[in-house]
Structure 1
């Protein structure tokens, strides 16, 4: 039984959409994911008879990366508008939907929020673990930064990422650079540069973030990432760091 009112979930979603900065977005996204488990959500099902004890859900292929996703909605109105009366609608708690669809990739409010949840993320939510917050760094071409190999211990981080990427053939290589920028180089962070097939970029950003969020202890510096396709030139900044994955 859902215990979070639809109005509360909608308030959290609106806060996430309008968050003014990354910290505000991180906090509101965590609240949304937590609330989803105990909120009523809506999904599409085919018309027609269903074998006893089973339920079938409608899925679609995303035009941007050709991945098959199962859409679900935070309110019935969105579900009805997306269905165009061609499919049925079922309501259940987010937790129940996640349990029934484990192994599938879900997408929350595909016509509005377009938040993809991959199978490892679903498992983490059901286990009560936060997903973490992902950012992709876009360095301006005319921006001057300092770059060097990591000066902190990265053994735990590298081992975790290597294990993840070994299971993900879309990742061709991974680089790690310590970046210093801002006034007096006061802003310091680790930049991950992933060479990855474009259709798998979103998935790898999500899964890498989940892996980073699971590290104990966490890295001594903030970690951000950017993705480059195998057909693009390697970023110059990579030559100032280390290659920790691939050949």
Structure 2
């Protein structure tokens, strides 16, 4: 597997920041590149210990950088920068959350996504959009693909922070003739909302065959009162943890 130059990696990082359609190309370059991370200046440990920071959403993550310049711009006293293959970084930090170029709006990579990158050599991306403007008619799904139902009802291992999953369909109220789209609506622990949504996106992306229609994913805080519309439409979860 050929090594990607720092200049090419930087180019595709910038392209990925401009459009999510370029993100897969960036990730395929990232896994073949050298990257930069922080370690303590003084460390008595025999093993390399990387620095973690607290993400604003409340979890710890390891920052790393696509260029020496980005790493130097973010560094401060007590740290030094090391350069290493991205694959080595990912393999030696399995189970951790990482942030690429955190001061420049780069992606958070959750453990499941790191594992996918190591296995497949890239990472499929998705577009973050609102669930639609104007009133929407939501009801339990009646024609979801069988493999999607099986994936959500426990046949695919789900992380413990995903506690409930509803499979719904939605359509604009003013477009009765429009085709309904599927909506995966999940109750997730508050600190893991984004990770839960992205995990479910990855579940959909891994289906074979893929659903022909668009599948949206939305989450709610499982610790709060269940959204009232679920009872109004007779929503029954296709998955509920035993907790």
TM (normalized to structure 1)?
0.83
Q: Structure 2, unaligned stretches of length 5 or more?
A: none
Cα-Cα RMSD: 2.8
Q: Describe the shift of the 1:237–1:129 C-alpha distance in structure 2 as closer, same or farther (beyond 3 A).
A: farther
Give the match for residue 195 of structure 2. 203
Give the match for residue 33 of structure 2. 39
Counterparts of residues 8-157 of structure 1 (less than 5 Å):
8-19=8-19, 25=20, 27-49=21-43, 51=45, 54-65=47-58, 67-128=59-120, 130-135=122-127, 138-139=130-131, 143-157=134-148
Equivalent pair of 1:131/1:210 in contact (CA under 8 Å): no
User: C-alpha separation between the residues in 2 aligned to 1:241 and 1:74?
Assistant: 45
TM (normalized to structure 2)?
0.84
Give the match for residue 160 of structure 1. 151
1:228 CA drift (Å): 1.3
Q: Describe the shift of the 1:166–1:6 C-alpha distance in structure 2 as closer, same or farther (beyond 3 A).
A: closer
Equivalent pair of 1:148/1:241 in contact (CA under 8 Å): yes
Give the 3-state SS of the residue equivalent to 1:70 in structure 2: strand
1:199 CA drift (Å): 0.9
1:190 CA drift (Å): 0.7
> Bigger shift: 31-40 or 92-101?
92-101
1:200-228 C-alpha deviation (Å, 9 max, x unpaired): 10111221122211111122322111111
1:7 equivalent in alignment to 2:7: yes
Give the 3-state SS of the residue equivalent to 2:83 in structure 1: strand
Give the 3-state SS of the residue equivalent to 1:243 in structure 2: coil
1:240 CA drift (Å): 6.3
Give the match for residue 234 of structure 1. 227
Equivalent pair of 1:2/1:40 in contact (CA under 8 Å): no
Give the 3-state SS of the residue equivalent to 1:69 in structure 2: strand
Q: Describe the shift of the 1:167–1:152 C-alpha distance in structure 2 as closer, same or farther (beyond 3 A).
A: closer
User: C-alpha separation between the residues in 1 aligned to 2:219 and 2:95?
Assistant: 25
1:31 CA drift (Å): 0.7
1:136 CA drift (Å): 5.1
Equivalent pair of 2:150/2:156 in contact (CA under 8 Å): no
